[in-house]
Amino acid sequence: MMFELRCTVRDCQHILQRNESGATCEAGHHFDRAKQGYWNLLQPQDRKSKHPGDCDEAVLARHRWLRRGYADGLIETLRHWTNDGEPDQRTLDLGCGEGSFGPALFSNSPQSYCGIDLSKRAIRLAVQNWREATWVLANADRVLPVADASVDRIVSLFGRRPVTEIRRALKPGGDLIVAVPGEEDLIELRERVQQSGHRRSRAEAIVDEMYDVGLECVEQINWAVAVNLQTDAIADAMAMTYRGVRHSQQSRLESIDAMKVTLAADLMLFRG
């Protein structure tokens, strides 16, 4: 089952029909598929800068981090909710980044999976990793390019959470899977580099936010693991999580050869 996309031209919202030259809606709006294999549905109002989305440094740092296997335990935990994907269920991945989570969780259903991100570098990496899936360059904060009540599952793994659009796109009884950093995530590294060990749990606020639009949290998991990080992994952790390190913190970061840190995430399963 091919994943259906919707026109992103303001006030249009017709379904896009794919053809040899790209994709066109019934109003005549046409979108080409990039030679790299993704769909560019960005509109002028989506571009707040010349290079929207995460910077290349953060994208590549996360790519290297995930390739090292630090999220393998997290992925195994999430499989409890995804069942490796089901071919007849559409999955929309918001803020999919460089695309590692998609094939790891939904390898059996590439035709019904769609990853959306605002970073061109991230989407290009995602296509290279899993060409069979649908990848879209778009602003998930504005309007999701799918029809009302057309998606069986929405995933936001450390990505975007446009609450109203999620509720609109999700089928009745559909699932929403959310992962956010836990309050202990990288706490040792933050204390050392930023000289601040501020702990902040996001889970309760997200549960309330989703409940307000009719999505109930049916299960919640606090995932955590201790890992030993070397210098290169420490630098990537800071770059991908905090968008780089301030000059005042750079010397403290460079002085760390290796350290043991906690990786933590709050995982939430919602159902409409």
Which residues contribute to the annotated binding site for S-adenosyl-L-methionine? 98-99
Which residues are within 8 A (CB) of 264 and not within 5 positions of it... i.e. 6 or more apart? 181, 182, 183, 184, 185, 187, 222, 223, 224, 225
Bridge partners (DSSP) listed for residue 226? 262
Bridge partners (DSSP) listed for residue 115? 93, 135
- Residue ranges for the known binding site are 25, 29, 98-99
What is residue 157's three-state secondary structure? strand
Alpha-carbon torsion 252, 256, 260, 265, what sign?
positive
Nearest CA to 98 out of 54, 43, 49 is that of 54
- Residue ranges for the known binding site for Zn(2+) are 25, 29
Q: How, if at all, do strands 258-271 and 170-181 pair?
A: antiparallel
Alpha-carbon torsion 163, 167, 170, 172, what sign?
positive
What's the count of helices (H) and strands (E) in the chain, helices before strands?
Answer: 9, 11
Q: CB neighbours (10 Å) of residue 163?
A: 14
Nearest CA to 95 out of 132, 127, 128, 137 is that of 137
Q: What is the identity of the amino acid at 13?
A: Q
What is residue 77's three-state secondary structure? helix
